[in-house]
Homo-oligomer: A and B are copies of this chain.
């Protein structure tokens, strides 16, 4: 895998471990709940990851985008579908989403290379 992808994952894992280790009960439960949110249910896990991705784009959270792009890709997201998510994010969120679209595509390219 690419350095961009690896570095992101390593930093994310290292800091999440430290946050969990703090033993703040609210945060531990929230991290747990966050994971449970994207499980298969009435909507498939893939659909939920797409929801998580589009939300991350309009809220302009590059690290959240990276996480959900990986999960969506693992669950079968295609490049054509990715661009339709980009389209919704750009139209709903406006041109300020464009810089995040650039970074999202760069991450996707490294991930799928």
Q: Which residues of A contact B (CB under 8 A)?
A: 11-12, 15-16, 18-19, 22, 24-27, 29-31, 33-34, 36-38, 41-43, 47-48, 50-52, 54-56, 58-64, 78-81, 83-99, 101-103, 105-106, 109
User: Which B residues are CB-close (under 8 A) to A87?
Assistant: 24, 26-27, 30, 37
In the assembled complex, the Cα of A96 lies from the Cα of B94 at a distance in Å of 8
Copies of this chain held together in the complex: 6
User: Which B residues are CB-close (under 8 A) to A29?
Assistant: 29, 33, 36
Contact of A55 among B18, B47, B92 (CB under 8 A): B92
B61 touches A30 (CB 8 A): no
In the assembled complex, the Cα of A16 lies from the Cα of B5 at a distance in Å of 21
